[in-house]
């Protein structure tokens, strides 16, 4: 079973990817309920933390039930990364993760996220600074390289391990691909099967079904899988993968009541964490995903995204539960949206 420092993970763990404006505490709570083994904060600007920016500091929030839990930081300045690692340490997460994979222009143009893929020496220096600034295990999430001509992940993996990185999550695309085309796990497999690499290697990219998860587990030999977009509106993906790997059986699609229950919990947590106004407003984008497939849901959905009190929203959810009580969901393919387009930075 893989370990990150002293953190013992279960056999073949499933990780919830850090996603900006998505993987906040309310969303993480419903994913944890459904089997996510390791979760991360939304990614946090090192310079924002140092400036004491409210939004950055708010992202440090997590609950004990989320453990093991990692805080993910990004940035292109060594001193800022070191100081931000110390700030993260103060809230006592289980690990600190560095984002060298975010492909969005706003981050890359600052020489951070996937922008660091153009300068591997800088990547090593930034990582080393973080490692020296905290006693917590430090992990890295990155991509195959900047573009098709610079897929240097094999060199990157060795150099990061050599300076003390405790685990590596690799997205099977270059920065230039963004989320287009198909993720290529071939190099992820090469990293994992490199005899020099002894730290856990987690694969990421395009896992949208239990069958694909098992196929990639067997084909590439990774220590676990990180799931991002497939969990948006479908936190049940974690339990389905675990069940399929263990038994070879495909679970039935979540029932209407399960979907309503998740909506309710997500809404309650959203209000608790963000307050009633922001909590209700930001929950609106999730209803469509949770209730996708219900015929004639448009009228109810309109109510859900226009009502402004928890009581009224709860009443509509009860109406939906009663109206569709005889409806049985059929299993459908999970749509992997480009969440950066839906949730721009």
In a domain, 338, yes or no: no
Contact assessment for residue 212 and residue 237, using Cβ atoms and an 8 Å cutoff? no
* Nearest CA-CA partner of 137 in 5, 288, 276: 5
* Nearest CA-CA partner of 142 in 163, 116, 107: 116
| Confidence (pLDDT) at 54 | 75
The verdict on 270 and 238 lying in the same domain is no
Question: What CATH number corresponds to the domain at position 180?
Answer: 3.20.20.70
The verdict on 237 and 291 lying in the same domain is no
Residues 171 and 187: their CA atoms lie apart, in Å, by 10
Contact assessment for residue 283 and residue 259, using Cβ atoms and an 8 Å cutoff? no
In a domain, 330, yes or no: no
Q: Indicate the residue among 203, 221, 247 that finishes a domain.
A: 247
| Confidence (pLDDT) at 51 | 86
| Confidence (pLDDT) at 315 | 97
Question: What CATH number corresponds to the domain at position 304?
Answer: 1.10.1200
Catalytic residue status for 102: yes
| Confidence (pLDDT) at 56 | 81
* C-alpha of 156 from chain center: 22
In a domain, 110, yes or no: yes
Contact assessment for residue 188 and residue 210, using Cβ atoms and an 8 Å cutoff? no
The verdict on 230 and 280 lying in the same domain is no
In a domain, 334, yes or no: no
Residues 250 and 232: their CA atoms lie apart, in Å, by 20
Give the structural domain span for 105.
9-247
In a domain, 123, yes or no: yes
| Confidence (pLDDT) at 118 | 79
The verdict on 229 and 141 lying in the same domain is yes
The verdict on 166 and 303 lying in the same domain is no
The verdict on 90 and 215 lying in the same domain is yes
In a domain, 271, yes or no: yes
In a domain, 225, yes or no: yes
The verdict on 308 and 174 lying in the same domain is no
The verdict on 143 and 264 lying in the same domain is no
Residue 92, sorted as left (phi over 0), alpha (psi -120 to 50) or beta, turns out to be left
Total number of domains in the chain: 2
The verdict on 117 and 72 lying in the same domain is yes
What is the Cα Rg of the chain in Å? 20
Q: What are phi and psi of 148, to 5 degrees?
A: -65, -20
| Confidence (pLDDT) at 328 | 87
| Confidence (pLDDT) at 339 | 47
Q: How far apart are the first and last CA of the chain?
A: 36
Q: What is the pLDDT along the chain (345 residues), one digit of tens a residue?
A: 899 999 999 999 999 999 888 899 999 999 999 999 999 999 888 888 888 777 788 889 999 999 999 999 988 889 999 999 999 999 999 999 998 866 566 666 565 666 777 788 998 999 999 999 999 999 999 988 777 677 889 999 999 999 999 999 999 887 655 566 778 899 999 999 999 999 999 999 989 999 999 999 999 999 999 999 899 999 999 999 999 999 999 999 999 999 999 999 999 999 999 999 999 999 998 998 899 889 999 999 999 999 999 999 999 999 999 999 989 887 766 666 554 444 332
Strands (E), the chain: 3-4, 7-8, 14-16, 38-40, 44-45, 69-74, 95-100, 138-143, 168-171, 201-204, 224-227
In a domain, 105, yes or no: yes
Residues 101 and 99: their CA atoms lie apart, in Å, by 5
Q: Indicate the residue among 214, 247, 280 that finishes a domain.
A: 247
For 142-234, where are the alpha helices, taking DSSP H only? 153-163, 186-192, 210-220
The verdict on 211 and 314 lying in the same domain is no
| Confidence (pLDDT) at 24 | 93
* Nearest CA-CA partner of 81 in 99, 68, 62, 93: 99
Contact assessment for residue 180 and residue 167, using Cβ atoms and an 8 Å cutoff? no
Angle subtended at Cα 132 by Cα 131 and Cα 135, rounded to the nearest 5 degrees: 70
For 24-170, where are the alpha helices, taking DSSP H only? 25-33, 46-50, 54-58, 78-90, 105-108, 120-133, 153-163
Residues 335 and 110: their CA atoms lie apart, in Å, by 31
The verdict on 96 and 158 lying in the same domain is yes
The verdict on 134 and 205 lying in the same domain is yes
Number of H-type helices and E-type strands within the chain: 15, 11
| Confidence (pLDDT) at 343 | 37
Marked catalytic residue, from 31, 102, 176, 263: 102
| Confidence (pLDDT) at 345 | 29
Residues 301 and 295: their CA atoms lie apart, in Å, by 11
């Amino acid at each position: 079973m893989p370990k990150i420092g002293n953190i013992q993970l279960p056999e073949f763990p499933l990780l919830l990817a850090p996603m900006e404006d998505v993987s906040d505490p309310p969303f993480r709570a419903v994913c944890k309920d459904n089997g996510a083994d390791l979760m991360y904060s939304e990614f946090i600007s090192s310079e924002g933390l140092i400036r004491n920016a409210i939004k950055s500091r708010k992202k440090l929030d997590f609950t004990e039930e989320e453990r093991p839990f990692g805080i993910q930081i990004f940035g292109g300045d060594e001193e800022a990364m070191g100081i931000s690692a110390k700030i993260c340490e103060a809230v006592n997460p289980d690990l600190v993760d560095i984002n060298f994979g975010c492909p969005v222009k706003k981050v890359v143009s600052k020489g951070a996220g996937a922008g660091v893929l153009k300068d591997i020496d800088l990547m090593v220096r930034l990582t080393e600074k973080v490692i020296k600034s905290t006693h917590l295990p430090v992990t890295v999430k990155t991509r195959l390289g900047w573009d098709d001509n610079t897929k240097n992940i094999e060199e990157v993996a060795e150099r990061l391990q050599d300076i003390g990185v405790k685990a590596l999550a690799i997205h099977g695309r270059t920065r230039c691909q963004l989320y287009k085309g198909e993720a290529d796990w071939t190099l992820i497999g090469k990293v994992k099967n490199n005899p020099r690499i002894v730290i856990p290697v987690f694969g990421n990219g395009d896992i949208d079904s239990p069958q694909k998860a098992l196929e990639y587990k067997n084909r590439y030999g990774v220590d676990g899988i990180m799931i991002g977009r497939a969990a948006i509106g479908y936190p049940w993906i974690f339990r389905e993968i675990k069940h399929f790997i263990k038994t070879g059986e495909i679970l039935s699609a979540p029932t209407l009541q399960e979907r309503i229950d998740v909506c309710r919990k997500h809404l309650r947590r959203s209000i608790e964490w963000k307050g009633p106004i922001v909590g209700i407003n930001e929950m609106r984008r999730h209803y469509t995903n949770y209730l996708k497939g219900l015929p004639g849901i448009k009228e109810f959905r309109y109510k859900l995204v226009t009502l402004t009190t928890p009581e009224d929203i709860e009443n509509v959810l009860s109406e939906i539960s009663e109206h569709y009580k005889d409806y049985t969901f059929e299993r459908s393919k999970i749509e992997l949206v480009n969440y950066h387009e839906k949730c721009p930075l």
